[in-house]
Structure 1
Amino acid sequence: MRWPFRSFFHECPKDADSLRLAAGSVGTFVVLGSGGFEYREKRQDSAADGFIRTASTYELEQRAPEAVVHDIEERLRRPNVFAWYAGGSALLAFWAASLHPVYSILCFVLAAVPARRIYVWNRARRTTFLFYNIEDPGITERLALAAHAGRSLSMATRIWHIYYAVATSDWKRNAGASTLIRRTPTRSVSGSLPQIALNIEPWCVPVGPQRLLFLPDRLFVWDGRKLVGLPYSELAVRAGPTRFIEDSALPRDARQVGTTWRYVNKSGGPDRRYSNNAQLPVMEYGELEISSASGLRVVLQASTVEAAVGTAQAIGGLSRNQASWPAMHTEEPVRRRVTPEPVPAGASPEVVRAHNVAILLRYVSSADRRITPEEIAFARDVFVSLNPSHTADTAEFEMYFRALPGDASSVDAASAFVRSLGAEHSSWVMEKLVQLSWVDGRATPKEAERIAEIGRRIQAPTM
């Protein structure tokens, strides 16, 4: 049995008052309908016959997303009355102690009597309950993506928030760097904001004065006074490798790609005019940038490229899924999503074959964590050769191609399908995979490794 208030009770006393607080407090139920997420408010009932009744989520009062965010923000900003009460009681006790020790003990005893009720009341008025319908497969899928966004960052040994970046022409005295940045360490942790009780376990990333909270329906940004809920479809995400000249302790999971000198000359060697010219390592880190048209811009640096790319892919999946919902209360055109899987029932053999070959092409092209325009163009040519009825333009195919699954089970299934078509077709696919690895000018060792892996799976000789 799932306990619907586990996040809240990790922080609250598990006593009868807390149980009554959770069961009777006003909360918002989040369900996934045909038009996207719907927010339905639970209101307290006062039954005259003494029975405690509730309503199904579809009988609750529907609320606008902005109203939900406003309610959460208003509760987050409410003053902590219990802290005032505890502080005032302590000051009164110290003052009484100056008169007589017995008075101080009496003050503590009298203050402790209502303290528990004040604590429970104060927490109820400052806490917002959000209940996600975790029995809905759509919400479960988005919950997994939101959790993956935070978990990917947490897998990196070190994470930094970059809050300052400026170009410099004085590269000689800055170890050859063209951009100077300032950063501060941060982390990705499991848990909600203190006053938001959930029946799920979200991930939170502090970035300067703000906190990012990855939820299935939107990204919450809280700065201590203002709360904003941004739909993932409004976010732009960029991730990839970056080189950083490290002058502090090296993360154990980072990859060193070179060295430089604190003071360099034109040829890249050490500048002999400086006696304290130390050699510095050049590290490959992952850089993640999350931005929106409304002004959000967060730049994170992770000690591994995989951590940044994994988070970007998860947010991208949330964005594509959200963008496919019909527009609600608006007549603006809806962005169309090209869904890579599953293949529609009754699809022609050409479509099925092209889809499975495309999965293998994407698996190879993403080996070095980036897919170039040349690789996308080549993959589209192969796709059209297998499925001449294909009419999507290049941009639409790129959306489809980048969204193709790259997990082991999907690659296994695609390889088994290609193998079932015979040795001649398997050899043709291997030829196209090798050509794909060279279309951008060079084949990387990782691409060659994946081509050999597919060759073993489809039982075809490696080219």
Structure 2
Amino acid sequence: MGFYTRTSLRAGPFRFTMSPSGMGVSVGVPGFRVGTGPRGNYVHMGRGGIYYQSTIGKPAPHSPPRPRPYIPPSSSVVMEDVTGASVQELVAGNRSDLVNQIQVAARRRPLWPFALGALLVLGLILGRWGLLLILVGVPAIVWLAMRDRARRSVVVMYDVNDDMARRFDDLVQAVGALQQVGGFWLITASGAVQTPYQYKVNAGASTLHRRRAAAASMNGPRILVTNVAIPTLTSGERSVHFLPDRVLLREGKHYADIPYQQLELSAEAVRVIEEGALPRDGEIVDRTWQYVNVKGGPDRRFKDNRQLPVMRYGRLTLYNHHGLHMIWDASQFRAVHATARALTNAASAQPPIIPS
């Protein structure tokens, strides 16, 4: 409510008023008008340049300009593949007779599923005689399946004794310890944290890793039949098999092998910030926050800023100058260290490579 001076323009029964707040329109008789303006509906009374005005109802809400959203520096860390050369690339440079036999056997298609399908179809067509045909044909299907298994297998018999046998047994025991760890993974990608914002939203980590679950076992590739246990590390389509005389690599249906003397490795203890479930045997060595400030403490500007454990894991890296590069993390450093030592001893027991 107030008294003020304004300018007006008349157009028939309507009057348009101009003010610093905007333009309004009113209608009425001299001394009394009803109108609407930038401040809402009003009743207007008065003459001679002095007016009295009362607003009716709630004025229209004024929407302040919406501020531009704050776009923080990029929080996306560039991840690079760290799985090294593919098995196809590795086998191109060094293809052994064993790998040739395995690849030939792997390309052979089993025949028994087609024979079983044909037998069932004929059994349905022949009605009551079809049951007799199926009973007679089942032993033939079993024989064909066994024949397919033999055709798709490569048999390798090892005669390992003395010092070489002891060293290989140490490798079997070491990989057996990896079977018992609570967490085992293959690192597939890695990226360095570069900006302060990336550091802040990634719990203060200096490097990010992408990983997938892995497993250790004593089962070699199904296509290879041997008389010894084959220590194996597997993750998805990739696996590494430690034979007594060589390292066999698999990626899907493709295989390659390298001598132990060409295998290089490293084992180290690493600190990993865990966001998911903790392995049952993991060792917590520190704690951090999901969002940290520059001093490493919790950033109070983020809600639900939870604490995260920092774990001590073991990291086994296998590589060579041909492009092999595989990084395995385990929740127990001792198991990783024992595996690395056993692999080093196994390589030293192999006869030297004589270039041709």
TM range, normalised to the smaller chain? Answer: 0.5 to 0.7
Corresponding residue number in structure 1 for 2:145: 119
Quote the RMSD (CA, aligned, Å).
2.2
Corresponding residue number in structure 2 for 1:301: 329
State whether structure 2 residue 102 is matched by structure 1 residue 72. Answer: yes
State whether structure 2 residue 185 is matched by structure 1 residue 155. Answer: no
SS at match of 1:221: strand
Structure with greater Cα Rg: 2
Write out aligned runs for 1:44-443 (5 A).
66-90=96-120, 92=121, 97=124, 101-102=127-128, 104-134=130-160, 136-169=161-194, 170-322=198-350, 325-328=351-354, 330=356
SS at match of 1:188: strand
Contact 2:213–2:235 (8 Å) recurs in 1: no
Contact 1:164–1:183 (8 Å) recurs in 2: yes
1:272-309 deviation per Cα after TM superposition (whole angstroms, max 9, x unaligned) = 11112111111111111111222111111100111111
Letter in 2 for 1:196: L
Letter in 1 for 2:301: R
| TM-score, with structure 2 as normaliser | 0.68
Letter in 2 for 1:247: E
1:153-189 deviation per Cα after TM superposition (whole angstroms, max 9, x unaligned) = 2232210111111112211001111111111111101
Letter in 2 for 1:288: L
Contact 1:155–1:307 (8 Å) recurs in 2: no
Q: 1:317, CA displacement in angstroms?
A: 1.1
Distance in 1 separating the partners of 2:265 and 2:257? 16
| Count, aligned residues | 260
Contact 2:282–2:313 (8 Å) recurs in 1: yes
Q: 1:65 to 1:167 in 2, by over 3 A?
A: closer
Letter in 2 for 1:214: F
Q: 1:149 to 1:89 in 2, by over 3 A?
A: farther
Distance in 1 separating the partners of 2:172 and 2:314? 19
Q: 1:101, CA displacement in angstroms?
A: 4.8
Distance in 2 separating the partners of 1:191 and 1:103? 44
Corresponding residue number in structure 1 for 2:5: none
Q: 1:122, CA displacement in angstroms?
A: 1.2
Contact 1:146–1:202 (8 Å) recurs in 2: no
Q: Which has the higher contact order (CA 8 A, sep 6+)?
A: 2
Letter in 1 for 2:266: R
Contact 1:80–1:122 (8 Å) recurs in 2: yes
Q: 1:115 to 1:131 in 2, by over 3 A?
A: same
Divergent runs of 4+, >6 A: none
Contact 2:158–2:227 (8 Å) recurs in 1: yes
Q: 1:74 to 1:230 in 2, by over 3 A?
A: same
Distance in 1 separating the partners of 2:247 and 2:153? 19
Q: 1:243 to 1:122 in 2, by over 3 A?
A: same
Q: 1:198, CA displacement in angstroms?
A: 0.9
Contact 2:163–2:349 (8 Å) recurs in 1: no
Contact 1:142–1:216 (8 Å) recurs in 2: no
Letter in 1 for 2:311: M
Contact 2:168–2:346 (8 Å) recurs in 1: no
Q: 1:66, CA displacement in angstroms?
A: 1.4
Q: 1:149, CA displacement in angstroms?
A: 4.2
Q: 1:246, CA displacement in angstroms?
A: 0.6
Letter in 1 for 2:115: Y
Contact 2:245–2:260 (8 Å) recurs in 1: yes
Greater fraction of residues in helix: 1
Distance in 1 separating the partners of 2:252 and 2:180? 27
